[in-house]
Structure 1
Amino acid sequence: MASLGWSCMTSFLTYETNKSVVVKSWSVGIINRLVQLMIISYFVGYVFLYERAYQEADTAIESSVITKVKGFGKLENNVMDVADYIYPPQGEGVFSIITTVITTHNQFQGICPEIDGKFNCSTNSCVFLFKGIITGVCNTSVGTCESEGWCPAEDDSVKIKPMAEFVNFTIYIKNSIRFPLYNVTRGNFPPTIEPKKCIHDRISNSLCPVFRVGDILNQTTHNVTELGGEIGINIEWMCNLDQDVELCLPKYSFTKLDAPFEKSKISKGYNFRFAKYYKTADGTEFRTLHKAYAVRFEVKVTGTARKFSLIPTVINVMAALTSIGMGTILCDIILLNCLKGAQQYKEKKFEEVGLKRSTVRVKRNNCYSDSGAISISTDY
């Protein structure tokens, strides 16, 4: 046990130092330089030039979005303007353009038969929830369940021709952003753009924030005319503040947010209901119910501002210099395990030095005393 403890103590109380060994081998030298070249290329090309690791990034973008839609359309022989087809009307970053409306007029509170005849009450029990609260009574005259609620019940199987003109509507997006770390503010309407001639085009007029609805839908390559849908308008600000701040400009892209549900059998597209309430002369309340199919637009703003900073530059330079040493590690593995002269390289690279104690007799005042002296022995 004592010998084991002494062995552990001896192993612990050791010191290691580097020893330089020059290996004259073309193959190992080429591998070493290639690895170093790959590491340097990675840090220079990807880390510093592509990722711009010498800059500090501000991703806490502050953003404000105001929208305005213009255009006229025709739905069931009625001319529709912005007040008719935009919901909500406040001009926020999320809004809907109504393309089709199924209207149920003069609904009063009462008891009426269900319109949907999929569950005939002569063969099915009246326990299903349709357009109101099921009373459990079968209306034998029409063969459907009876419900309590707003009557007559809504019939959403009616086919209404969508408002075709909505593809020519225009959407103006007013976006202002701020990067708080650098206190930089920008707007998405450059002063060089002529407002009256401004319609967004990916190639010829990519900075114009006025978009034609049909162009947006063409870029998403999805049909939302009949059942509606959800469209994302993405505004991306990627700003290099080491350059002129006027070069900090937005990029626009469009995505169909509900694309994963197109093959779903339940709730395709996008629709919602709203009602307008009235009263008769005797005070009885009634309403007109609207089921609206719409294209829902959601404006999303993202951005990053970058500027030179000494701290990330020093950190990444030190990381690059440290990583260059990986070439030495790889070459050591090859020399110690793969080449024919591996044993000879091991003997040259690893040298074990021990300390031996010798006794020297010193004469003082006609007396001899022992004094410890240390000599270094080298084992190969």
Structure 2
Amino acid sequence: MKLQSPEKIELIQPPASRKSRHYTPRHYTPPRYTDANTEESLEHAMDICSEIRSFIVTYESTRRIRLETPCINITLWLIRIAIFVGILLILINNKLYQKVDTEPISAFTTKLDGITYSGPINDSERRELWDSTDLRIPPQAENSIFVTTNYIITNGQERAACADVQAESTNCSTDLDCRDSGQPYQEANGMSIGKCNMTIGYCIVETWCPPEDDTLPNNGTTAVLNYIHDFRVLIKNHVYFPYFDKGRSNLIESITAEKLRNGCHYDPDHDPYCPIFQIKTIVGLANRESCKPDPEEDERLFKEMAIRGGVIAITVEWDCDYDFDESKCKPTYNFSRIDKNHQQSPLGGYNFHHAKYYLENGVEKRKLIKAFGILFLLRTEASARKFDFFTFMGTAEFLFCRMIQDVQQMHLIKGWSTLYLYLVAKNDNESGSNCDCNYFTYGSDIDEKAASSNDEVMPVPGRILPI
């Protein structure tokens, strides 16, 4: 649009008979001033708009030539086939054509069997029997099993006032060294009465008496309970995959009721699917790198761990491929000791307190037990997969996108554009315009066009045809 200069603008003046201070001329156009900078800015803005429009509506592709050279074409096809086969192997080996469900619903049920004793084996009066009900605390826990292997028992405790000689904070020589009556001694698990037992040099506290002696039995060389390593635990794991609406259990088709009654034992080499595990086998596989069973070594490792206890993780792994028979979906078991880095520490191992209460001569008493043992944590790592058309198409498009793009450019876009140009040229020829319609030819005509073409010729052996 051409801009007007100030000299060419005509203002409409009011009539002489209408002289008013508030009169506004009709059809008034304010003057517009331009200079060189303004015109340059407008031109720059127009260039930017043109570039944006060109970027949106214009498609660019590289120039293509057709080479009738067997050596180059064979090499090119070999490279294409090698790339295609490599991508196909990646697709198959990684199973990228399948839909995967990695969020299953899992549940465990367990059962512990075994019997052991403490005390002299030849003294029936001093010997004490323990079965799995006594040693599994609590009887049912969520995804875990605790088995007692060692303990410290304090018998006949009752509520009274006594001195705790194991609490250093209660040392005293006079009553003034003790806390005021009613003040707690957390280390001694009792309340101060404000008096000192000067004979032994400890403050007297109200607590469960006699106080607990925290010294390990047998000087910490062996555990009290025997034959715990021969206890057996049955682990049943059920896993369900909501996406495929399918589920599996580790009681697979080969695990029959008769086999369970006969007492199969898990063995990674000979019976890897039996769900009954010996405690010593679990401890042995969790404490050494070798996966081969060694009964003597397993028993030695268990005896070391039984003194202070520990924590072991049992992982049931599932990798189900529902493109095949469902019976081929079988579990595998892995064992690892979680507290391995702290097993030699004085605070290492695993223990807790529990008590058994009873009445004796009308007085409430308790049997305090500090139980050391092995905590088995049960966990599941499961995934299921199955062929899915949309997953396959999405993965194939991602992997073969370059090949698809080449096909699209070489065949689809070229074909439609050539047909369009041919129809336009034919229409112009019929209307009498000067158009070289013979350029859009097919078959043998392209050789004649190639012979008369002035296109650039590449310095390679063979015949070059324009496409």
TM-score bracket, shorter-length normalisation: 0.7 to 0.9
1:177 aligned onto 2:239: yes
Which one of 321, 326, 333 corresponds to residue 252 of structure 1? 333
Distance 1:111 1:183 in 2: 64
**Cα-to-partner distance string for 1:235-277 (whole Å, 9 max, x where unaligned):** 1111110101111111111111223443655x31110111111
**Cα-to-partner distance string for 1:270-305 (whole Å, 9 max, x where unaligned):** 1011111122333x3221111000111122122111
1:148 aligned onto 2:206: yes
1:3 aligned onto 2:61: no
1:278 aligned onto 2:358: yes
Which one of 392, 397, 401 corresponds to residue 318 of structure 1? 397
**Cα-to-partner distance string for 1:141-192 (whole Å, 9 max, x where unaligned):** 2123433221111111142441231111111112222222222232212343
For the Cα contact (< 8 Å) 2:265–2:276, is it kept in 1?
A: yes
Which one of 152, 164, 181 corresponds to residue 226 of structure 2? 164
Distance 2:272 2:365 in 1: 50
1:90-169 to structure 2, matched below 5 A, reads 90=140, 93-116=143-166, 118-119=168-169, 121-122=171-172, 129-135=186-192, 137-160=195-218, 161-162=222-223, 163-169=225-231
Change in CA separation of 1:215 and 1:35 when aligned onto 2, cut-off 3 Å:
farther
Which TM-score applies when normalising by structure 2? Answer: 0.62
Distance 2:46 2:341 in 1: 69
**1:139, CA displacement in angstroms?**
3.0
2:285 corresponding residue in structure 1:
219
Distance 1:245 1:299 in 2: 24
Distance 2:82 2:206 in 1: 80
Which one of 382, 394, 409 corresponds to residue 303 of structure 1? 382
Q: Give the residue type in structure 2 aligned to 1:269.
A: G
- Of the structure 1 ranges 312-321 and 185-194, higher mean CA displacement relative to structure 2 is found in 185-194
Change in CA separation of 1:106 and 1:44 when aligned onto 2, cut-off 3 Å:
same
Aligned-partner SS, 1:226: helix
RMSD: 3.3
Which one of 65, 85, 98 corresponds to residue 108 of structure 2? 65
**Cα-to-partner distance string for 1:325-348 (whole Å, 9 max, x where unaligned):** 999xxxxxxxxxxxxxxxxxxxxx
Q: Give the residue type in structure 2 aligned to 1:131.
A: A
**Cα-to-partner distance string for 1:104-148 (whole Å, 9 max, x where unaligned):** 111111222113154572499768621313526543221234332
Structure with more of its chain in strand, by fraction: 1
Bigger relative contact order, structure 1 or 2 (CA pairs below 8 A, ≥6 apart): 1
For the Cα contact (< 8 Å) 1:115–1:155, is it kept in 2?
A: no
2:89 corresponding residue in structure 1:
45
1:186-265 to structure 2, matched below 5 A, reads 186-193=248-255, 194-195=259-260, 196-221=262-287, 223-262=304-343
Distance 1:89 1:4 in 2: 83
- Of the structure 1 ranges 62-71 and 4-13, higher mean CA displacement relative to structure 2 is found in 4-13
Larger Rg computed on CA atoms: 2
For the Cα contact (< 8 Å) 1:115–1:154, is it kept in 2?
A: no
Aligned-partner SS, 1:63: strand
**1:64, CA displacement in angstroms?**
2.6
Which TM-score applies when normalising by structure 1? Answer: 0.75
Aligned-partner SS, 1:155: coil
**Cα-to-partner distance string for 1:193-226 (whole Å, 9 max, x where unaligned):** 4221511100111011111111111111164211
What's the % identity of the aligned pairs? 25
Change in CA separation of 1:326 and 1:131 when aligned onto 2, cut-off 3 Å:
farther
Aligned-partner SS, 1:216: helix
Q: Give the residue type in structure 1 aligned to 2:387.
A: F
Distance 2:107 2:253 in 1: 19
For the Cα contact (< 8 Å) 1:68–1:91, is it kept in 2?
A: no
Distance 1:98 1:189 in 2: 27
Structure with more of its chain in helix, by fraction: 2
Q: Give the residue type in structure 2 aligned to 1:139.
A: N
2:431 corresponding residue in structure 1:
none
